[in-house]
Chain A
Amino acid sequence: MLAASTTDFTAQCYGLYQSPPLGSLVKTGDEPIELYGIVGHATTGSLEPGRRPIARGQDEASEEEVYRTSPQLSKLLKSEFSVLVVGHREGDKLYYYLPPRPARIHGFVYRCRPEEVREFSQSLDFLNMLINTNLPTSVDELIAAALRQTGQAHEDPRAFLVAAGKELAVLLSGQFNQLKAILERLK
Chain B
Amino acid sequence: MTERLGIVISGSLDSGVEVRLDGAVSVEDMAVGRYVTIEGQKQRFFGMITDVSLGVTDPRLILTPPDVADPFIAEVFSGTSTYGTLHISPYLTIGGKADSLLEGPQTVKTVPSHFSAVNLATDPDIELVFGQEDQERFWIGNPMDMETKLCLDLEEFVTRSNGIFGKSGTGKTFLTRILLIGMLQKSKAVNLVFDMHSEYGWAGSSEGGQRKVKALKQLFPSQVAVFTLDEENSRRRGVSTDFVVRIGYDEIEPEDIGLLRQTLNLTEPAIEAGYQLRRKFGKNWLQQASEWSDSEEIGEQLKEMNIHESTFQNLRRGLNTIRRLPFTEPHAPTNAVQHVLEHLDRGTNVVLEFGRYRDITAYVLVANMLARRIYAQYQERMEKAMGEEAARPTPLVITIEEAHRFLNPSVASQTIFGTIAREMRKYNVTLLVIDQRPSGIDEEVMSQMGTKITCLLDNERDIDSVLAGVSSKSGLKAVLARLAPKQQALIFGHAVPMPVPFEPREYGSAQSYKDFITTNRAQRREQAEKDIEDLWER
Contact = CB atoms under 8 A, between A and B. Distances in A.
A56 interface: no
Contacts of B77: 169
A151 to B, nearest CB: 12
B76 A166 contact: yes
Contacts of A161: 72
Contacts of B72: 158, 161-162, 165, 183, 186-187
Interface in B46-88: 57-58, 60-61, 64, 66, 70, 72-73, 75-77, 79-81
Nearest to B57: A173
A82 to B, nearest CB: 29
B269 interface: no
A106 interface: no
B23 interface: yes
A176 B75 contact: no
B81 A173 contact: yes
B70 A180 contact: no
A111 B271 CA distance: 104
Contact of B23 (A166, A168, A177): A166
Contacts of A179: 81
Contacts of B80: 165-166, 169-170, 173
A174 interface: yes
A174 B79 CA distance: 15
Contact of B58 (A173, A183, A186): A173
Given A180-B66, A187-B70, A165 B58 contact: no
Nearest to A159: B75
Nearest to A179: B81
A104 to B, nearest CB: 39
B86 to A, nearest CB: 20
Contacts of B76: 162, 165-166, 168-169, 183
A151 B324 CA distance: 90
Nearest to B81: A169
Nearest to A163: B76
Nearest to B59: A176
B491 to A, nearest CB: 41
Contacts of B58: 173-174, 176
24 contacts: A158-B72, A162-B75, A162-B76, A165-B72, A165-B76, A166-B23, A166-B76, A169-B57, A169-B77, A169-B81, A170-B80, A173-B57, A174-B58, A176-B58, A176-B60, A176-B61, A176-B64, A177-B60, A179-B81, A180-B66, A183-B72, A186-B72, A187-B70, A187-B72
Report the 9 A-B pairs with minimum CB-CB distance, sorted nearest first: A165-B76, A169-B80, A173-B57, A176-B58, A176-B60, A169-B81, A166-B80, A162-B75, A176-B61
Interface of A: 158, 161-162, 165-166, 168-170, 173-174, 176-177, 179-180, 183, 186-187
